[in-house]
Amino acid sequence: MSTPHLTSKLPDIGTTIFTVMSELALETGALNLSQGFPDFDGPRALLDRVEHYLNNGSNQYAPMMGVPSLREAIAVKVADLYAAELDPGTEITVTSGATEALFCAIAAVVNPGDEVIVFDPAYDSYEPVVRLQGGLTRHVPMHPPDYRIDWDRVADLVNDRTRLIITNTPHNPTGSVWDQADIEALRTIVSRRNIYLVADEVYEHILFDGRRHESLTRYPELFARSFVVSSFGKTYHTTGWKIGYCTAPASLTEEFRRIHQYVTFTSITPVQLGLADFLADHPEHHRSLGAFYEAKRDLFCTLLADSPFEVVPSAGTYFQLLDYSGWSNERDTELAVRLTREAKLASIPTSPFYETDPGHKVLRFCFAKDDETLEQAAEILCGL
């Protein structure tokens, strides 16, 4: 009997660079500043609330759209931060991580032949989803040191087939942050066009030096065509829980949920309930998160003063790019592997997030780490 031949829908997609570098770090015993997760735990009060629900009979399916108390707490937070009044019943959906939310949002609006604009270096989950829907991804590159969007190039790319623009601020992996000029440029481009927006805002609370998060939720005319994706894992240092959410107008949420219900259906109940309690009782946590990570950014950058790297402090996220052009001519992928094997420090190269490798000499390091870990990493980098 012959076996069927599988034709891959993503034949050129391999293992993500995050997995590759984390596995290499584990194999070599290297300090892992590659994959973006903290090496410290979430708030004790949050862990206690989740434990309470685990031990008190809250271990069955949650509603498909998320437990009501969590959606209500999200609505309160959004109103407080962005002055947007959302209906928890029809405009907020809890998901199994932000990546699932991104998948469902992209799948909800992209059809065969549609074009989707992304900004390189683009998070690597965007394009595979577009391709699975039969769409075509159009890439707009950004470049160091400031990684600003060339909006004239975006305008030139837009045509009648453009169905979606995926935004990401604060931006992973560069740490750049949108300002009012970006919002105005986006508004001009989508005005009177049938273009949807997916806003990847998982680092919405991690901005530095007095910057304001320009959420698309702030702008009614933009939000009317948007899916805005957020992450509890990034906010509460609990990335392993894989809980995110998507806010969108009711008509878009309806389509989003049609897909969501057949991807994960729902997410872990006791964690949702614990998050609901903590979000309602401790809004000071997300309000102070930027200052918390700004101190870590400043420590890491200060410690690197005597290193061979050029350091432009990150504007947001918990990632710092280091420019090594004055020290080595190696490709970033090669240097990242060599530093992991030889110096025992793992990072992420940025070229895998571009359609075409621009040859930038930068590596991304995660500073969501204990101060001792950052000191150890800086000592390695300064000793190169």
Please give the C-alpha separations between residue 330 and each of 78, 160, 206, 297, 363, in angstroms, as whole numbers.
44, 41, 31, 26, 11
- Per-residue pLDDT averaged across 147-166, rounded? 98
Q: Is the dihedral of CA 293, 303, 123, 268 positive or negative?
A: negative
Q: Give tens-digit pLDDT for 45-102.
A: 999 999 999 999 999 999 999 999 999 999 999 999 999 999 999 999 999 999 999 9
Banded model confidence at residue 1, pLDDT cuts 50, 70, 90: confident
Q: What is the pLDDT of residue 249?
A: 98
Q: Copy the structure tokens of residue 319.
A: 């990632």
- Per-residue pLDDT averaged across 265-274, rounded? 98
| Cα angle value 165/261/250 (rounded, 5°) | 55
Answer yes or no: do 208 and 143 share one domain: yes
Q: What is the pLDDT of residue 185?
A: 98
DSSP state, 214? -
Cis omega (within 30 of 0) for bond into 358 = no
Q: What is the pLDDT of residue 194?
A: 96
Of the residues 235, 250, 282, the one at which a domain ends:
282
* Within-domain flag for 10: no
Q: Give tens-digit pLDDT for 227-240.
A: 999 999 999 999 99
Cis omega (within 30 of 0) for bond into 4 = no
Question: Could you tell me which residue, 14 or 265, shows the higher pLDDT?
Answer: 265
Number of domains in the chain: 2
Q: Give tens-digit pLDDT for 4-19.
A: 988 999 998 888 999 9
- Per-residue pLDDT averaged across 349-370, rounded? 97
Answer yes or no: do 31 and 134 share one domain: no
Q: What is the pLDDT of residue 227?
A: 98
CB atoms within 10 A of CB 6: 6
Residue 383 confidence (pLDDT) above 80: yes
Strand partners, 316: 207
* Within-domain flag for 75: yes
Q: Give tens-digit pLDDT for 334-347.
A: 999 999 999 999 99
**Helices 250-260 & 98-109 angle (0-180, nearest 10):** 110
Cis omega (within 30 of 0) for bond into 170 = yes
Mean pLDDT of the chain: 97
Q: What is the pLDDT of residue 15?
A: 86
* Within-domain flag for 121: yes
Answer yes or no: do 324 and 206 share one domain: no
Q: What is the pLDDT of residue 318?
A: 98
| Size (the chain), residues | 384
* Within-domain flag for 307: yes
Structural domain of 357: 17-42+284-382
- Per-residue pLDDT averaged across 16-28, rounded? 93
Banded model confidence at residue 104, pLDDT cuts 50, 70, 90: very high
Answer yes or no: do 221 and 302 share one domain: no
Answer yes or no: do 320 and 236 share one domain: no
Answer yes or no: do 29 and 84 share one domain: no
Q: Give tens-digit pLDDT for 298-311.
A: 999 999 999 999 99
Question: Could you tell me which residue, 2 or 20, shows the higher pLDDT?
Answer: 20
Q: What is the pLDDT of residue 3?
A: 86
* Within-domain flag for 57: no
What is the distance between the alpha carbons of residues 314 and 116, in angstroms, rounded to a whole number?
27
Of all residues in the chain, what percent carry a pLDDT higher than 70?
A: 100
What is the distance between the alpha carbons of residues 322 and 308, in angstroms, rounded to a whole number?
9
Q: What is the pLDDT of residue 331?
A: 97
Contacts of 156 (CB under 8 A, 6+ apart): none
Q: What is the pLDDT of residue 35?
A: 87
